[in-house]
Amino acid sequence: MRTLPLMAPTKPGNRAICYNVLTDMRKSTLVLLALLAAPLLPSASSDYEAAAHKVFLIEHHRLRPGSRVELTAPELNAYARQEIADVAPNGVRNPRLELGAGTATGSALIDFGKLRRAEGKPPSLIMSYLLDGERPVSITARIRSSGGTATVDVEHIEISGVTIEGPLLDFLIRNYLTPAYPNAKVGQPFELGHGIERLDVQPSAVAVVIGR
């Protein structure tokens, strides 16, 4: 796996192109972060119906204190295929969620050129050459949860096999994602609500534990 150099020199003429590429990466990052944390809604699929029923029980406080409810990986992906696909901007498709031990990876195919055009900012001829075409993009985050709160820490972003992590990843989150989307709680604790004590993320499912 290649790692994007952090201090690679750039020519003055290329700086504007780099800035636009980073701006497009910021927008795709938000879509995938939403995949990690968005609420579940009803759908026609059996997996989605099962997830919606569990969420209904949680949201309406129908579970006893200390209860543990599991949302399986297929149930979560049923949501990703329908709900995220419906609200994702033009140029983002095939969202998917993979779970690990305390981690979650949101991935999608993203056409950065289409994203720019959907915002009314068509790229120039040179930028079209760089941005057009679908690219696999993924974000891996570690999820920590206890005491009725959770924290999502982004570990790395991967675009077409190139990994962005460390100081450059921190720079993108601090200077692009956070100012543009102040409600995106990246690296900050947020309340789970609905009496939820914690989330237990494992490869097969996310367990929702209700407080006593």
* pLDDT at residue 52, rounded to an integer: 81
Per DSSP, helices labelled H in 72-212 are 73-79, 85-87, 112-118, 125-131, 166-172, 178-180
From first to last of the 212 residues of the chain, give the pLDDT tens digit. 444 443 444 455 545 544 454 455 445 444 444 555 444 444 347 998 898 888 889 999 999 999 999 999 999 888 777 766 666 667 788 888 999 999 999 998 888 888 778 778 788 888 887 788 899 999 999 999 999 999 999 999 998 999 999 998 898 888 777 776 677 788 999 999 999 999 999 999 999 999 98
Q: Spell out the residues 6+ positions from residue 26 whose beta carbon is closer than 8 angstroms to its own.
A: 172, 176, 177, 180
Cα–Cα distance measured from residue 151 to residue 41, given in angstroms and rounded to the nearest whole number: 22
Q: Parse the chain into domains and list their residue ranges.
A: 13-210
pLDDT value of position 104: 95
Q: CA nearest 92: which of 40, 36, 31, 141?
A: 31
Does an H or E element contain 182, and which?
Answer: none
**How confident is the model at residue 6, as a pLDDT?**
39
d(CA 116, CA 74): 32
- CA neighbor of 159 nearest in space, from 151, 170, 167, 169: 169
Please report, to the nearest 10 degrees, the dihedral formed by the alpha carbons of residues 183, 179, 106, 1 taken in order: -160
Is 57 within 8 Å of 49 (Cβ atoms)?
no
Is the Cβ–Cβ distance between 102 and 203 less than 8 Å?
Answer: no
Q: Is this prediction's pTM over 0.85?
A: no
Two tokens, residue 117: 């055009």
| Among 177, 195, 194, CA closest to 186 | 177
β-strands 2-3, 162-164 pairing:
parallel
